Chains A and B, each alone.
Chain A
Amino acid sequence: MKTRVFVTLKTSVFDPQGRTIVEALQSMGYAAVRDVRQGKFFELDVDAATADEARTIAAEVADKLLANPVIESYRVEVDEAAVGVDRQ
């Protein structure tokens, strides 16, 4: 089951890469882009019977490995449905 994990720096943590990107965009004339946060995207192929099971496994591996809880938060999506595991 295709399961996606999005990892970003917590909003309380300064993201110098995002800052550099937004400054570049603004200098290109995209004043409408007010902020950018850069993150990581993981696409997991999970052997799971249900979306819930896939979500649980993905959240577990995000907690243990994909994200560092000191500085990062993550969001899990299974298939097309954006669903509720959203941990800050």
Chain B
Amino acid sequence: MKFAIIEFPGSNCDHDAYHATKHVLGQQAEFIWHKDTDLRGADVVVLPGGFSYGDYLRTGAIARFSPVMARVREFADGGGPVIGICNGFQVLLEAGLLEGALLRNRALKFLCQHVHVRVEQTDTPFTDGATAGQVLRLPIAHGEGNYYAPPEKVASLEASRQVIFRYCAADGSVVDTANPNGSLDAIAGVCNPRRNVVGLMPHPERACESALGSADGLVVLESAIAAVVAKGAA
């Protein structure tokens, strides 16, 4: 199966995603330049982390108008699995493929550290191999990861189980001291109503080998592989 990794000018985790999918997981992976208008038969689309367009205006605000985003939208509308990681999450929010926004971290500092997140829902293509409540140790590296949506929107996301990842302590408890950036309801990742588009601030693709400090991110990418295989077999 094939992962398409979208490259915007300023993406810098594109090679991390490529390495994880191709070399660690042994899948096909292909970079797709943001001006391309063909996803070249990809089964899963990854919007990687970085600083697309230098974060000018707002994070992800310019990238959402890249030509490839029309194809990503069609792919998502057709039910294809799409994951946005960090800046990729910011792009998906700006594009309206996911709901909410990301504000500056509450302490106004860029954060580069490992955090714990709890898998809240397992009925997405990126968490179906995880168990509900499973705690993952993943790195974050962002200045604007403070998830915000109006209170009524947060309530509706919670009610429809669209909060997929939540910052937590190592034991899985959701406490304010484990919330690195001030995100509402400690939200680290959400999905769309159809549940095939997932975005999160932490970097599962940078946590796929224990030599790099954690292999907890593997379950996210392995879930996607299993989801595509299951869909093909169905």
Contact A71 B57 (CB under 8 A): no
Contact B106 A16 (CB under 8 A): yes
Which size bracket describes the interface of B in this complex?
Answer: 10 to 19
Complex CA gap A16/B107 in Å reads 8
A12, A17, A66, A68: the one contacting B104 at CB < 8 Å is: A17
Q: Which of A41-81 contact B (CB under 8 A)?
A: 65-66, 68, 70-71
Q: Which of B88-117 contact A (CB under 8 A)?
A: 93-94, 99-101, 103-104, 106-108
A-contact bits for B78-94, CB 8 A (1 contact / 0 none):
00000000000000011
Complex CA gap A32/B106 in Å reads 25
A12, A65, A71: the one contacting B103 at CB < 8 Å is: A71
> Which B-chain residue is minimally distant from A20 (CB atoms)?
B108
Contact A70 B148 (CB under 8 A): yes
Answer whether A71 and B108 are a contact pair too, CB < 8 Å, given A65-B57, A66-B57.
Answer: no
Q: Which residues of A contact B22 (CB under 8 A)?
A: none
Complex CA gap A9/B93 in Å reads 17
Answer whether A65 and B150 are a contact pair too, CB < 8 Å, given A13-B103, A17-B108, A70-B101.
Answer: no
Contact A71 B61 (CB under 8 A): no
Q: Which residues of B contact A66 (CB under 8 A)?
A: 57
Q: Does chain A have a CB within 8 A of B149?
A: yes
Contact B58 A68 (CB under 8 A): yes
Contact B108 A70 (CB under 8 A): no
Answer whether A12 and B108 are a contact pair too, CB < 8 Å, given A65-B57, A70-B101.
Answer: no
A13, A17, A65: the one contacting B148 at CB < 8 Å is: A13
Complex CA gap A8/B182 in Å reads 20
Q: Which residues of A contact B150 (CB under 8 A)?
A: 12, 70
B65, B101, B107: the one contacting A71 at CB < 8 Å is: B101
Q: Which residues of B contact A20 (CB under 8 A)?
A: 108
Contact A65 B61 (CB under 8 A): yes
Q: How far is the CB of B56 from chain A (nearest CB, A)?
A: 11
Q: Which of B53-78 contact A (CB under 8 A)?
A: 57-58, 61, 65
| The 3 nearest A-B residue pairs measured at CB | A70-B101, A71-B101, A16-B108
20 residue pairs A–B, Cβ–Cβ below 8 Å: A9-B103, A12-B150, A13-B103, A13-B148, A16-B106, A16-B107, A16-B108, A17-B104, A17-B108, A66-B57, A68-B58, A68-B61, A68-B94, A68-B101, A70-B93, A70-B100, A70-B148, A71-B101, A71-B103, A71-B148
Q: Which residues of A contact B (CB under 8 A)?
A: 9, 12-14, 16-17, 20, 65-66, 68, 70-71
Q: Which residues of B contact A (CB under 8 A)?
A: 57-58, 61, 65, 93-94, 99-101, 103-104, 106-108, 148-150
Besides A9-B103, A70-B149, 9 more A-B contacts (Cβ < 8 Å) are: A12-B150, A13-B148, A14-B103, A14-B106, A16-B108, A17-B104, A65-B61, A66-B57, A70-B100
